[in-house]
A and B are shown apart, each in its own frame.
Chain A
Amino acid sequence: MSVDPAVLVEGINLMWVALVCFLIFFMHAGFAMLEAGQVRSKNVANQLTKNLLTWSVGVIAYFFVGFAIEGLVGAYTGGGSLGIGEAFGIISPADGNDWIGWLFGAVFAMTAATIVSGAVAGRAKLRAYVTYTILLAGVIYPVVVGLTWAGGFLASFGYYDFAGGMIVHGMGGIAGLTAAYVIGPRMGRYAEDGSTNVIPGHSMTFAVLGTLILAFGWYGFNVGTTATVFAVEGGELVLDGYAVVGRVAFATTVGMAAGAIGAAAASLYLSGKVDTLYVANGILAGLVGVTGIADGITWWGTIAVGLICGLQLPLVFEFVSDTLKIDDVCAVFPVHGSAGVIGVLAFPFVAVSGFSVAVLIEQIVFVAVVTVWTVAATAAVFGAFKMMGQARVSPEHEREGLDLSEHGVDTYPEFGKPETAADGGSVRTDGGEVNE
């Protein structure tokens, strides 16, 4: 029996990519739990619904539009050309296995999309959020990918982002911050004298469970970006993407550890206590920090980047909430945004290949372009909804909680208020009429 190495390579590479797609998909379970834990018990079902719809609606928008936009932006800003028919070819490819490549793009796109829901929790209107998700998955994120991974003008200019520290997480965190700024804080977040009121989330347990599920899926996100295990060279099998798999796995592991330690230290410095949620957020900030650069950094660089991303988290969160007065409910900017930016900007200082001014300039331009586009596009979409009065729910609905007012769902019917009676009605302790 003769073995065609090309068939072997294709099969193993397809299997690896499919497997990591499943791992990355599981990050949605993590995001759902992380965000559910950080919102009030009256808004849990709303947050879960947004997470479910992000995937469901977003993946379809990415199928019909997003994937083609990536190709078109990549070709036309990179000096190439691509026919419209060719760009939209993914809708009905000659080889069904092309859809594995599409799925690989889709799970990254949906990760970027789902970050935003945590920033606008507790007050964004579902239709505004879902419309934004369609635009993010169909246009906003694909433009960023088009300029970079798909060969657009940043690719010609030069940039370094291995698994999407900036392209996915930086972009998602900056979009979240912009959206939270445009739609304004939750009611009661800031007192009339300008001081910040604490609105605690409803479950630390869910938040930590979500964090660890995300960290698990992140192995797929980072290590999986070594998407090609083998290649064929002159009829021989050689390692392709897997040439760096060990370094990426190491950076992912140690980056998250250093992130947690950095956030714990900063929390201890600021409040005298090691805050559980800061440690959990620190794990994610460390992961975000190394995501963009995991395949090309030294061991000490990994620890340094993870630590810095953890250390900055409490400081940036306090700056955003107390100075900028932006109500970023799930801290998505310090976790995904600033940590993503720090990670890719740190690359020239910690690269295996040594320091380079040229690379630093490329990274600054890269961050600036992605930031300007993300802020402009996100502000335009949420600004338009705000002008139409459709960006957030009514004050009555916000006060009552989005679960009951927007979905008619009581997440915890057997705990606390409002109480549900066995005959299907609601009990009013003042003896008043039950509302329809």
Chain B
Amino acid sequence: MVALSALTEVRSMSEESEIKMITTIIRPEKLGDVKKALAEAGAPSLTVTNVSGRGSQPAKKGSWRGEEYTVDLHQKVKIECVIADVPVDDVVDAIREAANTGEPGDGKIFVLPVDDAIQVRTGKTGTEAV
């Protein structure tokens, strides 16, 4: 009995760790392409936020009435995408391909484990909720 319950525990752990969050920072003008690529890769659900940040993109000069100032936080879009049944590599490749311009400032992709997921409407948990 002890062994069986341990097995159940392990199965449920492995089910939960199959849920991944892919957080992507991209150029705002690439949002349309990335959305399309995500849908084609089988991961159409996403959350989008306007963000600003600093990475490898060089600083810009802004000016107001002839006075110059430095802009080193660039406008970006953050996409959060939680997936369960789709291969992570496919989604990551799809985003990379759609967001790439070859210039510094194209962004980053982060893959994070998700402990659990719950669908608000149905109360479903785990991979079913995603």
Contact = CB atoms under 8 A, between A and B. Distances in A.
Contacts of A200: 62, 64, 69
Contacts of B67: 196, 198, 321
Contacts of A181: none
B64 A277 contact: yes
A281 B64 CA distance: 12
B44 to A, nearest CB: 27
A196 to B, nearest CB: 7
B63 interface: yes
Contacts of A331: 65
Interface in A271-286: 271, 273, 275, 277-278, 281
A318 interface: yes
Interface string B60-83: 001111111100000000000000
Nearest to B62: A200
- The main secondary structure of chain B at its interface with chain A is strand
Nearest to A196: B67
A317 B63 contact: no
A273 B65 contact: no
B70 to A, nearest CB: 9
B61 to A, nearest CB: 9
Contacts of A199: 64
A270 B65 contact: no
A277 B65 CA distance: 5
Interface in B55-112: 62-69
Interface string A266-310: 010011010101100100000000000000000000000000000
A271 B63 contact: yes
Nearest to A200: B64
A267 B66 contact: yes
B64 A278 contact: no
B88 to A, nearest CB: 30
A275 B66 CA distance: 6
A201 B62 CA distance: 12
Contacts of A197: 69
A314 interface: yes
A314 B63 CA distance: 13
A200 B63 CA distance: 8
A275 B64 CA distance: 8
Interface of A: 196-201, 267, 270-271, 273, 275, 277-278, 281, 314, 317-318, 321, 331
28 contacts: A197-B69, A198-B62, A198-B63, A198-B64, A198-B67, A198-B68, A198-B69, A199-B64, A200-B62, A200-B69, A201-B64, A267-B66, A270-B66, A271-B63, A271-B66, A273-B63, A273-B66, A275-B63, A275-B65, A277-B64, A277-B65, A277-B66, A281-B65, A314-B66, A317-B66, A318-B66, A321-B67, A331-B65
Shortest Cβ-Cβ A-B pairs, 7 listed: A200-B64, A198-B69, A198-B67, A277-B65, A275-B66, A271-B66, A198-B64
Given A198-B69, A317-B66, A331-B65, 7 more contacts: A196-B67, A198-B62, A198-B63, A198-B68, A275-B66, A278-B65, A321-B67
